[in-house]
Amino acid sequence: MSSETVTSAGYIKHHLQNLTFGQHPDGTWGLAHSAEQAKEMGFWAIHVDTMGYSVVLGLLFLWLFRKAAKNATAGVPGGLQNFVEWIVEFIDTSVRGSFSGRNDLVAPLALTIFIWIFLMNLMDLVPVDWIPQVATWVGVHAFGADPHHVYMKVVPTTDPNATFGMAFAVFFLVLYYSFKVKGIGGFMGELTLQPFQSKNAIIQTVFIPVNFILEFVSLIAKPISLALRLFGNMYAGEMIFILIALMFNAGLALGVFGGFLQLGWAIFHILIITLQAFIFMTLTIVYLDMAHHAH
């Protein structure tokens, strides 16, 4: 941001705004220079920072694990091989404990979800002003942009577009295997013949719409809760880091206190970012297991 005086509210809003690319009302395409312009771009606008960091971190995951696989040895393993083997064994144990069906996709999917979400969450430990300041410097000196209009969010999982994208991908897999394993009749039976049942055909017919509403809401709630849980926890964590950063401009005493507070929250946040990746992965395994078995 520029050297002009910036209010606390302005600082927070600036750090919570995504770098958005889309179509302006006049028909031209470009980056949004304010939250209002980003809103005007509508549904098809792209959050460039979310997409960019997600892709880069995904490629980093693939590169690290490919490097470990290529350099794997039957002798004394190196540090990277030890780490990757520990992760793979941990994921394998989780899948064996939660998934009772037979599907070669589940374990690789669980590994990808856990590592990818963990890396995206890990970006929250980067000091909130470091990367945005670099982006501002590049925007001002390379493109002549107004520093107040250069946005950069570095934690993809604080963007609901990213968390809902992953949750809906899992949901589509759940629907696919539900139809494949159980058939249309079996899957529709799960949605209409429980939890209320009766041996009387007339009463059971009356129960069908009630059961469908209850089961359909339960089905739809899975991806929504999966996405919002991850987004809400990471967004709250990022907000706390931003609020702590404001303390560094509030005098020496609050600055020193903010430094200790930031260190303590960062250490505690390591647990949160790991736990959220684990929860997302575990629920994915459980949902896929449910899709492979009749009620």
**Cα–Cα distance, 142 to 192 (Å, whole number):** 60
**Cα–Cα distance, 2 to 128 (Å, whole number):** 16
98 is catalytic: no
121 is catalytic: no
Cβ pair 32, 22 in contact under 8 A: yes
**Cα–Cα distance, 273 to 157 (Å, whole number):** 10
**Cα–Cα distance, 132 to 135 (Å, whole number):** 5
Alpha helices by DSSP H, listed for the chain, are 8-15, 35-40, 48-70, 79-98, 106-122, 130-143, 160-192, 201-246, 252-291
Active site amino acids:
225, 229, 233
